[in-house]
Amino acid sequence: MTMNPITEGYAVFLHDGDKSFGAVRQVHREMIVIYVEDAGDFEVPRAVIKDVHDGKVLLDAGKISADLKKAIGHAHTDEDPRI
């Protein structure tokens, strides 16, 4: 399967239609660096990327690291729910 190119600034998701938990900060041949809200930067191997389209990067939840899963689970905890 050929994926669309990834660009810095693309939103990152686990599932299409979910709320984004971060954004692409850097793009490299073997991996991308994503910023996860409230957790910082994570290196993500390209093998973890499930799809790229419409300014979105979708990751395969079954292939992400435990640290990244934990960060994603807390990505929006500091947000004000009234906003």
The predicted model scores a pTM of 0.85
Domain tally, the chain: 1
**pLDDT 10s digits, 27-65:** 999 999 999 988 999 999 999 999 999 999 999 999 999
Within a domain: residue 75?
no
Within a domain: residue 44?
yes
Residue 4, pLDDT > 90, answer no
pLDDT score at 80:
42
What's the chain's length in residues? 83
Within a domain: residue 67?
no
Within a domain: residue 26?
yes
- Partner residues linked to 44 by β-bridges: 32
Within a domain: residue 64?
no
Within a domain: residue 83?
no
Ranges of beta strands (E only) in the chain are 11-13, 22-27, 31-36, 40-45, 49-53, 56-59
Within a domain: residue 69?
no
